[in-house]
Amino acid sequence: MSTRALAALLGVAFAAGTANLAVSAEGQVALGFWPIGLAVGAVLVAGRRRRLVVLAVVALAVAVSGLAGSRPLDVALGYGLAVTIACWTAVMVLERPLRGSGATERADRPSLRTGPELGRYLRAVVAAAVLLGVLGALISARTGYGTAAVVGQSLFFSALASLLILVPFFCELPDRPLLGRSAERLAQRLLLVVLTVAVFTVPQVPLVVVLVIPVLAWGALRVTAREAFVQLLVVVGLGMGLSAQGGGPVGSVAGYYDLYPDARVILLGMFGATCALVVVLLVMQVGQHVTDERRIAAERDVVRRIVDGARGVAIIGADERGRITLFNPGAERLLGYTAAEALGRSTRFLHSDDAVRTACREQGVAYDFVALSQALSRPGTGQHRMGFRRKDGSERIHLMTLSRLSDERGRVTGYVSTSEDVTDLLAAQERLEESLRAERQAVERLREVDEVKDAFVSSVSHELRTPITSMVGFLELLTDGSYGTMTSAQRYAIERVFANSNRLLTLIDDLLTLSRLQHPGAAAPGEILDLREAVRAAEQVVAPAWAPPRRLQVGVDLPVDPVQVLGQREALERVVVNLLGNAVKFTPDGGSVQVRLVDDDGRARLEVADSGIGIPREERHLLFSRFFRSSVAVRDAVPGTGLGLSISRAIVEKHGGEIGFEAREGTGTVFTVSLPTHPPVQLPVQLPVQAVPALGAPRNNRGDAAVVAHDQQNGPESG
């Protein structure tokens, strides 16, 4: 508020207090109605920076008006101080934040809109009025001016009425519309003025003033909050003015009943406080009712939008008797009925007898729709399958949730069901389950076929190995000249047959090794071995493959300290031979191959990197599959069976390790083997024992193939 407006407000307070004292009855010692109510309003609108100044002005104005009303100096000053203290108390209570409101900053004006705010307002008014009455009684007792009890009562009731009537003008009032029409409001105003003038001119009948209260209540219910308080101010102002002239039941009560002069102040205070309480309570009640209606309407609109927007969900509401009161567009779409066709009917018509009977059986209740509804709507029951009958007669399965609606006393007032049509979903789920069952059966058949195939390959490999070993033995005997000297053409042919027989024997050995790894038999003894020795042995085996005329840089980096692992030496050597041999085969001349072994925090990590032809991206997921050979290997006619990496992975996994790779097409490949390191203890490992042949060199099977050939020729006893 501006300084000019604040000064005007204080001037009005001073003028009202002075005028009130000027028309006081002879012998009246108490203050009038206006000083404290207007003083509190001035402090509320002054702001924190000017508050102390305003309070000082209030104290001075009350004291000066008291002197103008012929009060003694000490009484006038005491009244000024008492009004200031009571005013400060009222302001402090009005500005105190409500518990749980979360308010951290002071608002421009106190609010008077809710129940807690009304309670705070009443506490402030009563506290200030009681404090002023007590201080007034003490001033009277101290100065001997008037009777302490009379002064205390007079100041209490006058302050109570003043605060109840005037403070709301400085608060934020409920925002409520005009509820009455223009003609009604005009009639109410005229009746209020006429009736107020009439009742305050009838002498010697005090109770007649209560006739004004119903008309005030009428206005409080139908007009705006601020106009209701203006009407209250007009009524009390007219009553005070007419009573000051000695008219009406209040003005003549002191002389007629031989009472003390301040009885008029007390009665007017009671009247004003009573009227103010009626108006305040009705204004708050109507304002709260309007606010609640707006909130409920907004919530109802939101719920309606949600319900109407749920096109894929059937939302059906019913009263306590099961008659439909809500049928949203989703229900219309899913069930085929319009809302007009469904409203008012029992929800029973939406379910066939078979659907109800099935649901009752699932819930374990008797065949009764009411009992079924109670069972489905129990708290915590969740969703249930329920058959719904569409308008066209078709039966659909819905996944439904049924909830009870209860009032504050716990009585059931209705039901709400939400459901989705899951008929097609259930059918698709059944088809999927059938497909999965068929797939599982197919996988089982494939597994059986794979087992038969593996058994067949193992059996055939065993059967082929003996004759091929015999053939290789005879070829070695022929090559050694055991059966005579051969011509160069014969020797060339024998060497070609010998080389191809060795390739076939290598393939058979690989198949037998892979079969043993997949179906381990007896446990082969494991040992603590230095993995560096396995790498060195594999290096010696593969070394002929990069000997001149090959131009290939091969480096082997081994740690100084032993790298101990638990395993089978020949099997781990075979892993290194396969990886190093592949790196050499798939790296063209001028490239490089690097082998690196490290002990990495309890894991032995072997890396074999090459700068070769790499692996196509789309084929990398097949790299460890049996018999897989990349398109690059096929295109470049690189020899191999496609079993080496499968065997290597099986061996590594049997040792509790992992094998992986990084590859770029045309730029090389890095294979990594990770194995756990172990302390030197003897443990069995489930691995087959298989000798490792030299890569790219003919097998020297003279110790077995030649002996077999000799035995087949001469008999087992001729050795």
Q: Which CATH number belongs to the domain containing residue 489 in this structure? A: 1.10.287
Are 292 and 302 in contact by the 8 Å Cβ rule? The answer is no
> Is residue 140 scored above 50 in pLDDT?
yes
Residues 445 and 415 in one domain: no
Average pLDDT over residues 662-670: 79
Question: pLDDT value at position 442?
Answer: 86
Question: pLDDT value at position 124?
Answer: 92
Average pLDDT over residues 169-177: 82
Average pLDDT over residues 101-123: 74
Model confidence at 522, in pLDDT bands (50, 70, 90)?
Answer: very low
Final residue in a domain of this structure, among 247, 269, 304: 304
CA–CA dist 386, 338 (Å, integer): 21
Question: pLDDT value at position 620?
Answer: 77
Instruction: Specify the higher pLDDT residue, 478 or 523.
Output: 478
* Nearby residues of 471 by Cβ (< 8 Å), 6 or more positions away: 501, 709
Final residue in a domain of this structure, among 141, 172, 203: 172
Range in 124-133, 257-266, 429-438 with the lowest mean pLDDT: 257-266
- Name the burial class of residue 511, with classes exposed (0-12), middle (13-18) and buried (19+) by CB atoms within 10 angstroms of its CB: buried
Give the closest residue to 623 by CA, choosing from 670, 652, 651, 661: 661
Mean of per-residue pLDDT scores for the chain:
78
Q: For the chain, how are helix, strand and coil distributed in percent, rounded to 5?
A: 60, 15, 30
- 15 within some domain: yes
Range of the domain at 411: 310-421
Q: What percent of the chain has pLDDT over 90?
A: 12
Range in 425-429, 493-497, 546-550 with the lowest mean pLDDT: 493-497
Number of independent structural domains in the chain: 5
Instruction: Specify the higher pLDDT residue, 428 or 664.
Output: 428
Residues 115 and 148 in one domain: yes
- Token duo for residue 507: 């393939």
Question: pLDDT value at position 711?
Answer: 42
CA–CA dist 537, 72 (Å, integer): 125
Residues 464 and 495 in one domain: yes
Model confidence at 445, in pLDDT bands (50, 70, 90)?
Answer: confident
Range in 77-81, 223-227, 496-500 with the lowest mean pLDDT: 496-500
Residues 40 and 118 in one domain: yes
> Is residue 696 scored above 60 in pLDDT?
no
* Tens-digit pLDDT profile for residues 206-219: 567 778 889 888 88
- 692 within some domain: no
Are 377 and 418 in contact by the 8 Å Cβ rule? The answer is no
* Tens-digit pLDDT profile for residues 566-625: 888 888 888 888 888 888 888 888 889 999 999 887 888 999 999 888 888 777 777 777
Are 351 and 388 in contact by the 8 Å Cβ rule? The answer is yes
Helix or strand run (H / E) with residue 716: none
> Is residue 234 scored above 70 in pLDDT?
yes
Residues 528 and 515 in one domain: no
- 145 within some domain: yes
Average pLDDT over residues 350-379: 89
CA–CA dist 81, 135 (Å, integer): 9
> Is residue 708 scored above 50 in pLDDT?
no
Residues 285 and 319 in one domain: no
- 117 within some domain: yes
Model confidence at 443, in pLDDT bands (50, 70, 90)?
Answer: confident
Are 622 and 628 in contact by the 8 Å Cβ rule? The answer is yes
Question: pLDDT value at position 131?
Answer: 92
CATH value at residue 588: 3.30.565.10
Question: pLDDT value at position 123?
Answer: 92
Highest mean pLDDT among 40-54, 307-321, 418-432: 418-432
Residues 94 and 23 in one domain: yes
CA–CA dist 235, 248 (Å, integer): 14
Question: pLDDT value at position 134?
Answer: 92
Question: pLDDT value at position 170?
Answer: 86
Final residue in a domain of this structure, among 142, 172, 202: 172
Range in 113-122, 125-134, 169-178, 454-463 with the lowest mean pLDDT: 454-463
- 417 within some domain: yes
- HEC string of 256-303? HHCCCCCHHHHHHHHHHHHHHHHHHHHHHHHHHHHHHHHHHHHHHHHH
Give the closest residue to 468 by CA, choosing from 494, 421, 512, 504: 504
Question: pLDDT value at position 213?
Answer: 87
- 182 within some domain: yes
Residues 676 and 536 in one domain: yes
Residues 148 and 263 in one domain: no
Residues 281 and 366 in one domain: no
Question: pLDDT value at position 246?
Answer: 66
Range in 57-66, 121-130, 578-587, 651-660 with the lowest mean pLDDT: 57-66
> Is residue 692 scored above 50 in pLDDT?
no
Residues 18 and 164 in one domain: yes
Question: pLDDT value at position 27?
Answer: 47
Question: pLDDT value at position 398?
Answer: 92
Average pLDDT over residues 442-471: 70
Strand, coil or helix: what is 416?
strand
> Is residue 702 scored above 50 in pLDDT?
no
Average pLDDT over residues 30-46: 74
* Tens-digit pLDDT profile for residues 54-96: 888 878 877 777 776 677 888 888 888 888 899 899 989 988 8
Model confidence at 338, in pLDDT bands (50, 70, 90)?
Answer: very high
Residues 340 and 415 in one domain: yes
Model confidence at 41, in pLDDT bands (50, 70, 90)?
Answer: confident
> Is residue 713 scored above 90 in pLDDT?
no
- HEC string of 70-135? CCCHHHHHHHHHHHHHHHHHHHHHHCCCCCCCCCCCCCCCCECCCHHHHHHHHHHHHHHHHHHHHH
Using N-to-C axis directions, what is the helix angle for 73-94 and 34-46, rounded to 10°? 50
Question: pLDDT value at position 13?
Answer: 57
Question: pLDDT value at position 633?
Answer: 66
* Tens-digit pLDDT profile for residues 374-430: 888 888 778 888 999 999 989 999 999 998 888 878 888 889 999 999 999 889 998
